[in-house]
Amino acid sequence: GNPVDERERSSAEQSRGTFFDTTPDHQERHRLTTLAEAMADKAELVQKAKLAEQAERYDDMAAAMKAVTEEGSELNNEERNLLSVAYKNVVGARRSSWRVVSSIEAKTDSSKTPLTKEYREKIEAELNDICKEVLDLLDKHLIPKATPADSKVFYLKMKGDYYRYLAEVATEDNKEAIISSSQEAYQNALDISIKEMQPTHPIRLGLALNFSVFYYEIVNSPDKACQLAKSAFDEAIGMLDSLNSDSYKDSTLIMQLLRDNLTLWMSDAQGEGEGEGEGEAEETEQAAEKN
């Protein structure tokens, strides 16, 4: 056994091995295996998210759907809904805590205020982190990959919503920039929805509902809020006959909320009542996301 021959043989085998490794067949097989594994992982994460939803563990649900989103492919409608419901609940819990603590803070005597203020700021920090996480997913993954009009509108509406939640707790110095980011996202969504979607489409209606709440609560423009809600409601009523049975329930629910808000806002304008538009609507979220 001449050592040189051994060396030559092993290097020939190595080079042949390398040659076989880079054949398209091998690469394709490797790609398909990786793809199959990724799909299995994704299916498992979606399953996990559904389980977490049933257990009402929304932080777990959001973490699973964040991983699905970061995996990179465009979300289907079911995945899109799971993502939205998860974060809606995660952020919703903080928004409601923030309101409670803020109202306590307003009524608390000054000696106890520092404790309440500190607690409010803790909740604010959590809320800010959650909103920024969602906005990051929207800007990096969801909006750039959205192809159908309803997906684009859905994600731009979501962007408007999460900037609105930031605006609710923003300090004066950065509030204006946040408000204008929210308005821009809603407006882009509205432009696309008017061009591409039926007035009765639940996503278009849900957008009009939330955008009108933005005008009423964040910008303090009751006129604009009423005008937007009324035109969305009237256009949908005009086309009620053509409403397909799949989305009939969703669409009519959101129309009801638009009307409730209009009634409330108009009575406020006449000084008959106190209150805020509740129609920003935890209830619409599910509805507004179905197709």
The domain limits of the chain are 149-291
How far apart are the C-alpha atoms of 84 and 62, rounded to whole Å?
9
Map residue 54 onto helix, strand or coil: helix
pLDDT of residue 248: 86
pLDDT digit string, tens, across residues 79-132: 999 999 999 999 999 999 999 999 999 998 877 789 999 999 999 999 999 999
Both structure tokens of 59: 């932080």
pLDDT at 283 over 50: no
pLDDT of residue 27: 74
pLDDT of residue 284: 45
Provide CATH code, domain 149-291: 1.20.190.20
User: What global pTM score does this model have?
Assistant: 0.82
Residues near 148 by Cβ (< 8 Å), separated by ≥ 6? none
CA nearest to 69, candidates 46, 92, 51: 46
pLDDT of residue 1: 52
Packing angle between helix 77-107 and helix 58-70, nearest 10 degrees? 130
pLDDT digit string, tens, across residues 129-162: 999 999 999 999 999 999 999 999 999 999 999 9
